[in-house]
Amino acid sequence: MKLEPTCLPVTHPTGQYDVLVGTDLLSNLPELADIRGPIALITDSHVGPLHAHRLGEVACTVTIPAGEQHKTLTTVATIYDQLLAAGIDRQATVVALGGGVVGDVAGFVAATYLRGVDFVQCPTSLLAMVDASVGGKTGLDLPQGKNLVGAFKQPTAVLADVSTLHTLPPEEFAAGMAEVVKHSLISNPELFGRLETRDWKLTAQSSISNLQSLVATAIEVKRDVVQEDPFEQGRRATLNLGHTFGHAIEQVSGYRVRHGEGVAMGLVAAASLSARLAHCDLALQGRIESALQAQGLPTRIPAEFEANAIYQAMFSDKKKAAGKLRFILLRDVGNVFMTGEVSEQDVLACLTAVQST
């Protein structure tokens, strides 16, 4: 029996769009996303050969090299050139087919090309499905740090076709699970409990019904937060749990550390710092580590990345305010908050404490 897609409506200041989670979505893209004009497809060198054929007829396909190192203004400029050469006008819809990097790049292009064209997200990685594709934020990296250039660009639809997860390498699926754990910590204790007890040990090869349930449950957390705070002026900042640490670890590693792996290490560091500052019980760190380890994720920062270097990299984080770093910390599962009142000494001690020996 065919499983019906899960539909999650998302409202934002200028309208609404639906997130559809299910199978066989890509082959019905124009109908499901209500695309009436030509399609300008943006994908990457890994995903394009696997899934682009499922979308049917497109007016233009732009394939960018895969990898975080290509999430740059230089890449965006090459896309503009190709769209112009193909005669893509304002009646077109930019469709992002790929992971978080493709979604960020394509979203930024859609927000700025000809002062804005319609945009549809077709995320193919777990990380992109549960996090990057929902909420309307796009970002590009500069040499100084991650996501320092960007725009808010709401999609007209998000099609999370979970059958694409079957082609995802195990390490990439695990990286996406870091964001699922993060979402559970922010506001879904029941989901965290299932992850913690290994009741929900999923892989890219898990049944479609389990994958659909996982993705929809995780998306609901983010959907509820971004609806409440569409422009990151309050509660939405809590979605950065683990990211101040994680982004810095990624940067210091030269982006050899995957985003999800950096987030996993960052979640442990955030719990450690929270316990150090007496905001939560130290046992919470152990529980978070257990949930991450169950998904095959790292819970210790490699010793080769010096604490001082990570701390300095944090200052390129766009989330700092008035020169002060801002951290999302935990009181308990489902109870997080933001603070800028953290000393350098405490951060460095925390980083040292969660490094591998």
Count of residues making up the chain: 357
pLDDT at 317 over 80: no
State the average pLDDT over residues 229-236: 81
Of 182, 259, 279, 319, which one is the catalytic site residue? 259
- Which CATH topology does 6-167 take? Rossmann fold (3.40.50)
For 157, half-sphere exposure in the C-beta direction (CA atoms, 13 angstrom radius) is 21
Residue 279 annotated among the catalytic residues of the structure:
no
**What's the whole-number mean pLDDT along residues 71-87?**
98
pLDDT in the model for residue 91: 97
Cα torsion for 69, 354, 265, 68, to the nearest 10°? 0
What's the longest Cα–Cα distance across the chain?
59
Amino acid at 102: V
Segments making up each domain of the chain, as ranges: 6-167, 170-353
The token duo for 57 is: 């007829």
pLDDT class of 236 with cuts at 50, 70, 90: confident
H-run or E-run covering 6 = strand 6-12
What pLDDT does residue 14 have? 87
Same fold, 6-167 and 170-353: no
pLDDT in tens, 124-159: 999 999 998 998 999 999 988 889 999 999 999 999
Cα(37)–Cα(43) distance, integer angstroms: 19
Q: Which of these is catalytic: 2, 31, 36, 115? A: 115
In whole angstroms, give the CA distance from residue 193 to residue 141.
35
Quick one: pLDDT at residue 61?
98
Say yes or no to pLDDT of 54 above 90: yes
**Residue 144: is it exposed, middle or buried by C-beta count within 10 angstroms (0-12/13-18/19+)?**
exposed
Give 3's pLDDT tier (boundaries 50, 70, 90). Answer: confident
The question of whether 70 is a catalytic residue gets the answer no
Token pair, residue 337, equals: 């908050």
**Which residue type does 58 have?**
V
Cα(114)–Cα(137) distance, integer angstroms: 19
Q: Is 222 part of the annotated catalytic residue set?
A: yes
Annotated catalytic, 247?
yes
Q: Which among 182, 220, 240, 279 is annotated as catalytic? A: 240
Per CATH, the homologous superfamily of domain 170-353 is Dehydroquinate synthase-like - alpha domain (1.20.1090.10)
235 in catalytic set = no
The whole-number pLDDT of residue 319 equals 65
Q: Is 179 a catalytic residue?
A: yes
- Which residue out of 46, 51, 71, 137 is catalytically annotated? 137
Closest CA to 88 of 80, 76, 96, 97: 80
pLDDT digit string (tens) for 191-226?
999 898 876 677 888 888 989 999 999 999 999 998
pLDDT given for residue 313 in this prediction: 94
Residue 320 phi, psi (nearest 5): -70, 155
Q: Which long-range contacts (CB under 8 A, 24 or more apart) does 67-74 make?
A: 67/101, 67/255, 68/101, 68/141, 68/250, 68/255, 68/259, 69/255, 70/44, 70/101, 70/105, 71/101, 71/104, 71/105, 71/139, 71/140, 71/141, 72/140, 72/141, 72/142, 73/140, 73/142, 73/149
pLDDT score at 197: 81
Least confident of 173-187, 214-228, 307-321, 324-338: 307-321
For 252-275, what is the mean pLDDT? 96
The pLDDT of residue 1 is above 60: no
DSSP class of 303: T
Instruction: Give percent of the chain with pLDDT exceeding 70.
Output: 98
Of 54, 232, 300, 318, the active-site residue reads 232
pLDDT of residue 297: 96
Clarify whether 46 is annotated catalytic.
Answer: no
- The gap from C-alpha 298 to its chain's centroid, in whole angstroms, comes to 18
Instruction: Kindly name the residue from 243, 276, 319, 326 that is annotated as catalytic.
Output: 243
Instruction: Determine the pLDDT at residue 81.
Output: 98
Condensed to tens digits (0 to 9), the pLDDT of residues 20-33 reads 999 999 999 999 99
Annotation marks residue 232 as catalytic: yes
Q: Of the listed 222, 276, 279, 319, which one is catalytic?
A: 222
